[in-house]
Amino acid sequence: MPEKSKLNIHYTITPTSPEAHLFAVECYIENPDPKGQLVYLPAWIPGSYMIRDFARNITEIKAVSNKQSIRLTKQDKQTWLLEKTTSPISISYQIYAWDLSVRTAHLDTTHAFFNGSSVFLAVKGQENNPVQLTINLPAGEQYDDWQVATTLSREQTELFSAGEFSALDYEELIDHPVEMGTFDEINFSINDTPHHMIVTGVHRSDLTRLSEDVKKICQTHIAMYGELPEMERYMFLLMVVGTGYGGLEHRSSTALICNRKDLPIKGMKKLNDDYVNLLGLFSHEYFHTWNIKRIKPAEFIPYQLQSESYTELLWAFEGITSYYDELGLVRSGTIDEQTYLELLGKNITRVMRGSGRRKQTLLESSYDAWTKFYKQDENAPNAIVSYYVKGALFAMCLDLKIRSVTDNNASLDDVMRELWRMYGKKGIGIKSTTIPDIVQSLTKTSFKSFFTDYLNNVDDLPLDSLFEPVGLKLEHRATDDMDDIGGKPDNEDKATFNLGVKLLSDPLGAKVQIIYAGGAMQQAGIATGDIIIAVNKLKASKENFLSLLSVCVVGETIKLDVFRRDELIEFSVTLLVPVDNTYFLTVYDGSEKKSVRVKWLENSE
């Protein structure tokens, strides 16, 4: 290890008490501000737009200079002012790590994981200085076989070993998550760049199958952009758990968490929905390697990590990425065209069922991510629209519109390549006018009203008119089962009503999870959290609720016995005419339209 006197900023992190979930961290500052050095811990992590107040996990903190303790005076919830000194300072603190997610830090006797934003103090005014990091293993024989997986630059440290690492600046330091422990590793190479899949947790999955499928997806995205950004290697850090799902992108890696049932098993021939969703997650986070990690909104250059950083462009970075994550599956051949169309039908259903689409624009959804999308409550479907899902549908419509006006000679692929060439590679942030300007330049056609109507306003997307040229027809049907997420026709002859309710299982009956605006349940006064225990004096459950209504007809009034808190209340519910709230796509015959559709679903390199 280099002598600290020759370093500017050096961090050391050690899992000192895995059984107590405690990391010990030291931050050494060689040249502190003589007027008094400020240090802070970020309030949020890039890619997850919610204030998380990581500093709340600091359990104790102290500072030393010239072998003497010096004062740390707290300035706010996450910032400290150090006592004035011209000598180097060493700050020692402990981090409590018990959040099993992709966003913060987790430590126990089986593994350690952390994102730098949740454990490393930033040195105010020195964020652009190079830093070094020492990662230590926990003490004790039981941890002798632990390894370290990260894409941080290694200072003469072997791959998967603890030791010395470096970063060009603080932003790079916190953009390489670290997994420690005993894990499975499988790798493949694309364009001479090693890709590692690190899998932590108990599982009996077919990692060879997973790596083969993920490799095809990665190759598809690289082919579309024309190149992989410069990097030494790429890592997928996958935590396997009993219940969980999510991912968070980084510049040369991604942190993922999934359910065991999402993974492929040996001998699996047909892809199930869980595995398709997992592949979509891999696809989504890998596409972010370009779209948000390099192609960024101007507001994120540099990141302002001490408070919210607002942008109206999340529809582009999450919405466009969500469009390409599923498109990448069909383009790579990991799913077929029919499966892709079913995924589209499900996404359309998700958007169209929520009346929030009539209240919030995509620009507003992006801007309000901090207070609305990331802090959803039971009324979310009635109040907001997802910049992920509607953003993906907008991206698809934009793609099909570009193809239509250029006779399929240009596409959204060309827009993304231009964003990468002119902005991502040069580190220039994009503005709200950047994408519309590129589209107009590419197509020689004004898209001003298109962007205004569907980004600035709450108009429904022109799906029917854009699907027709590619030989697709959008169809819809009614259902009162909100677990029916669409994507497929339903030929069963069964009674349906506009109930407007999503239920959960509960020991007492059927618990109301969501009430949709305008449905029979809302009109009757049923509320989220209510537990329905009887329908017309017959015991109710989530499983039998709809069957109890199968003998009823539209216009009939039924009696529900409901617990609200600890009070038993009877409600009268008048069953309303069903609404077509479930969508699916069917294919037209015709070779000309099929050829256009095939070109859309192929990769344009």
Q: Which CATH number covers residue 412?
A: 1.10.390.10
Residue environment code for 558-585, b if the CB has 16+ CB neighbours within 10 A, otherwise e: bebbbbeeeeeeebebebbebbebbbbb
Based on the number of CB atoms within 10 Å of its own CB, is 451 exposed (0-12), middle (13-18) or buried (19 or more)? Answer: buried
Question: Quick check: is 200 in a domain?
Answer: yes
pLDDT score, position 155: 82
In this prediction, residue 214 has a pLDDT band, given cuts at 50, 70 and 90, of very high
pLDDT score, position 156: 87
Average pLDDT over every residue of 478-495:
86
End-to-end CA distance of the chain: 46
CA distance 115 to 311: 23
Average pLDDT over every residue of 156-166:
95
In this prediction, residue 524 has a pLDDT band, given cuts at 50, 70 and 90, of very high
pLDDT score, position 6: 44
Closest CA to 324 of 191, 222, 472, 436: 222
- Whether the per-residue pLDDT at 495 is higher than 90: the answer is no
Shared domain check, 189 and 55: no
- Whether the per-residue pLDDT at 454 is higher than 70: the answer is yes
Residues in the chain: 605
Shared domain check, 166 and 153: yes
Residue with the two structure tokens 């009635």: 382
Q: Which amino acid is at 185?
A: E
Shared domain check, 175 and 41: yes
Shared domain check, 217 and 167: no
pLDDT score, position 604: 61
In this prediction, residue 493 has a pLDDT band, given cuts at 50, 70 and 90, of low
CA distance 113 to 180: 6
In this prediction, residue 4 has a pLDDT band, given cuts at 50, 70 and 90, of very low
Average pLDDT over every residue of 263-276:
93
Contacts of 567 (CB under 8 A, 6+ apart): none
Q: Which CATH number covers residue 224?
A: 3.30.2010.30
Cβ–Cβ under 8 Å, residues 593 and 471 = yes
pLDDT score, position 605: 57
Question: Quick check: is 64 in a domain?
Answer: yes
Alpha helices for 113-233 (secondary structure H)? 170-173, 207-225
Question: Quick check: is 492 in a domain?
Answer: no
Shared domain check, 74 and 161: yes
Question: Quick check: is 599 in a domain?
Answer: no
Question: Quick check: is 487 in a domain?
Answer: no
- Whether the per-residue pLDDT at 569 is higher than 60: the answer is yes
- Mean of the per-residue pLDDT values of the chain: 96
Average pLDDT over every residue of 418-422:
98
Question: Quick check: is 480 in a domain?
Answer: no
Shared domain check, 324 and 236: no
Side-by-side strand order, sheet with 79-82: 72-76, 79-82, 38-40, 122-123
Shared domain check, 223 and 89: no
Shared domain check, 323 and 191: no
Whether the pTM exceeds 0.75: the reply is yes
- Count CA atoms within 13 Å of residue 73 on its CB side: 7
Shared domain check, 176 and 90: yes
Cβ–Cβ under 8 Å, residues 531 and 562 = yes
Shared domain check, 386 and 300: yes
Shared domain check, 191 and 153: no
Residue 38: domain span: 4-181
Q: Which CATH number covers residue 144?
A: 2.60.40.3650
Cβ–Cβ under 8 Å, residues 471 and 588 = yes
Contacts of 453 (CB under 8 A, 6+ apart): 459
In the chain, the number of structural domains is 4
